[in-house]
Structure 1
Amino acid sequence: MSSAEAERRLGALLAKARSMQVCLGGESSRLEGARRLLGHRRSIAGWPPWLPAAILAVTLALIAWPAIELLPLGWSAQDACSVYMPDQLVRALRPPEDCSMCRGLTKVEKVANISPEEFEKRYAYTGCPVVIVDAMVNWTAQNEFSFEFFKELYEESSEYSSFQMNCQFFPYETEFQSLQEVFNMSEDRARMKQGTKPWYIGWSNCDEVVARVLRRHYSRPYFLPATAESKRTDWVFMGSPGYGAHMHVDNVDHPSWQAQLRGSKLWKLQPPPECYYDCLSMEITVDRGEIIVVDTNRWYHSTLIVSEDMSITIGAEFD
């Protein structure tokens, strides 16, 4: 199938979805972006002959997926949409990126003593990843945060019982279904004793009491621009050597920073698919005391704990 034919069919599918009142979760622009990408790449040499058909096939699966949510809670006859698509399916197609964000990059730099003005100009919103090596000088989090610290903190919180209803939890390749289950693991496994099963999990904190305690131990990174606001939702990632997150791209609102409080973590970054011919994949090991800044909405990324010590990372978005 040619890209022109794939573009025509995708346009027809989108029009059909609108006529059937299929709601694409407020992100129909992602599908429109895919259609524009087909049109934009028609004349580019090297376009694999199978790719237009593949894009169309994914779109068909997204629109016709049987897991669509019919008549969600609170639906009324006045609602504009009769059918809602799950967010995870809508994210299957993204609008094409401007490859200038990665063109010419060959490595992730490690820098120190960078001013907010220079950081804003070179890294903050350009999509160019960077590691800041001196941003935790006055933080106590490196010495205070541990599995036991988080376990005690959450178990003392009055909001702990409703945590899993209000916050996101990422089990990755473990069997855990909630943060409660993580903190109920055996002491030997939590301490990563030989012969126990490795683990790696992450979560967002939305408990205000916990947030106040966490932020006693770290402050706003000094390199953020004066006009940038660091979001109040903390993200925590924790686990044992040899584990990490699979290759993926996020669906959050802003770029983010992640502080490596304990252990070392290998980051693998891949450019978005439309930039494969223009940009390189990169790797960087982030060691204890360093902060990586990366737009995880634009860079596909995976992580792997490469230290012998447990890895603990905390981070937040900024705008």
Structure 2
Amino acid sequence: MENEKKKFLVKKLTKVIEEADKNGVSRSDVRNILINPTVDKVKKTDSKTKENTGIENTEYTKEHEEKEKRDERKLSPLKSKYVMYAFMYVFGIISTLITIFIHGFIVDALAEKCFMDQNVYAAEISRPLVQCNMCRNLDSIPVESGISAEEFKRKYAYTSVPVLIKDATNTWSAMTQFNFQFFKDLYFRTEDALRTVDEECQFFPYNTDFLTLSDVFNMSDARANFVDGEMPWYIGWSNCHKEVRNKLRKHYQRPYFLPNNSESSTLDWIFMGGSGPGALVHLDYVVRPSWQAQISGMKTWTLVPSPECEAECKSFNVTVHKGDIFVVDTNVWYHSTFIHPGDISITIGSEYD
């Protein structure tokens, strides 16, 4: 029985092979089909699809290409628009970064006590225009003595009208204690005081060869005392060291005429040096008005109105003697200083709001 089945299968296979040969199907394909009939069905389906859709495929391809072209033409304006939007987006980012950079530069510039070390043109462009009421009817710098806080507030505190106060330092021990050696000892003996000035505060070398406050306090005794033949010097700095501030303010008090509700800055500004030009003409960017007490020596201030007020306002010279306090809004008045021969000029001051 088994032999008959084998003979029957061989006969059938022989017929399949003959049919395959006639139709150009290789015997290896026949073998694969017999092993995996599913593949055969897929191949037959694919073959049949190819046979039946050969022409249609060509037509379909042409139609598809034309449709793609039409779609491309429709999408072309959209693509252009998206490209434009992308460009605008990138441009916006770049513009924002540039704006941030410029803003940071201006903020840094405004943080300086004076713009002498900054780009003068950038600082001038960035400043707000001044209202000329402060100087329109001013013929001379007012001089006051024994002025009350209320009167000072009404006439001077926030009007930008400069004023010279004659009696505000009478009780200050600073008038006898502050000198070059006092500041030298204070900064040398207070831990981190010099480093703080160099790294966190501000130092103004003006027309000297000093780079830091340390350089100033390390100069020779001859130069410090303005011996003939020694190079002249005039410098300034801000103090932001807490311990130094506390020691300084033991020797001077808040000026009696400041408004009762005003707050004083935690910074002290100190300017010191010998005869000759002090600070060259400049404008400050400290936001608030300030007072400056002449502890020693004699100094003349030159005040110049801003360009927009030159047609209406005058320039002034005011000489400040030992014991005087000069109140001036250096944010709106261009100013320079000159130190008179005689005792070393020492000025200490601060801001108020």
**Partner-residue secondary structure (3-state), 2:346:** strand
Which residue identity does 2:227 align to in structure 1? K
Counterpart residue number, 2:151: 118
Q: How far has the Cα of 1:274 moved from its partner?
A: 0.6
**Structure 2 CA distance for partners of 1:28 and 1:288, relative to 1, 3 Å:** closer
Report the TM-score when normalising by structure 2.
Answer: 0.67
CA contact (8 A) 1:260 1:312 kept: yes
Local SS of the residue matching 1:151: helix
The answer as to 2:230 corresponding to 1:196 is: yes
C-alpha change, 1:267 and 1:209, in structure 2 (3 Å) is same
Is residue 178 from structure 1 mapped to residue 212 from structure 2 by the alignment? yes
Tell me the residue number matched to 1:128: 161
1:247 to 250, 264, 281: 281
1:260 has 2:294 as partner:
yes
**C-alpha offsets along residues 96-155 of structure 1, whole Å, 9 cap, x if unaligned?**
111111101111111100000000000000010001000001101011000000000000
Runs of 4+ in structure 1 off by over 6 angstroms are 16-19, 26-29
Secondary structure of residue in 2 paired with 1:289: coil
| SS of alignment partner, residue 314 of structure 2 | coil
SS in 1 for 2:129: coil
CA contact (8 A) 2:193 2:244 kept: no
Question: Quick check: 1:25–1:87 contact (8 Å CA) kept in 2?
Answer: no
1:25 to 99, 103, 127: 103
Does residue 146 of structure 1 match 2:146?
no
Matches within 5 A, 1:6-45: 20-21=95-96, 22-23=98-99, 24-25=102-103
Distance 1:204 1:18, change over 3 A: farther
1:30-75 CA deviation, whole Å, 9 max, x = no partner?
A: xxxxxxxxxxxxxxxxxxxxxxxxxxxxxxxxxxxxxxxxxxxxxx
Say whether 1:109 aligns with 2:142: yes
Say whether 1:223 aligns with 2:257: yes
Matches of 1:209 and 1:28 in 2, distance apart? 31
TM-fit CA distance, 1:307: 3.6
Is there any run of 5+ residues in structure 1 with no aligned partner, and where?
A: 1-15, 30-85
> Is the Cα–Cα contact under 8 Å of residues 166 and 325 in structure 2 kept in the other structure?
yes
Unaligned runs of 5+ in 2: 1-90, 108-117
CA distance in 2, matches of 1:296, 1:26: 23
Establish whether residue 100 from structure 1 lines up as the match of residue 133 from structure 2.
yes
With over 3 angstroms needed to count, the CA separation of the structure-2 counterparts of 1:156 and 1:27, relative to structure 1, is: closer
Structure 1 range deviating more: 252-261 or 158-167: 158-167
Distance in 2 of aligned mates of 1:160 and 1:88: 30
Give the root-mean-square deviation of aligned CA atoms: 2.0
Following the alignment from structure 1 to structure 2, what is the Cα–Cα distance between the partners of residues 243 and 27? 29
What is the CA–CA distance in structure 1 between the aligned matches of 2:308 and 2:267, rounded to whole Å?
31
- Between the aligned partners of 2:294 and 2:120, the Cα distance in structure 1 is 28
Of 196, 201, 212 in structure 2, the residue corresponding to residue 167 of structure 1 is 201
Structure 2: how far apart are the matches of 1:124 and 1:161?
Answer: 33
Q: In structure 1, which of residues 83, 91, 95 is the aligned counterpart of residue 123 of structure 2? A: 91
In the alignment, structure 1 residue 270 sits paired with structure 2 residue 304: yes
- Give the whole-Å Cα distance in 2 for the aligned partners of 1:141 and 1:155: 19
Q: Which secondary structure does the structure 2 equivalent of 1:292 belong to?
A: strand
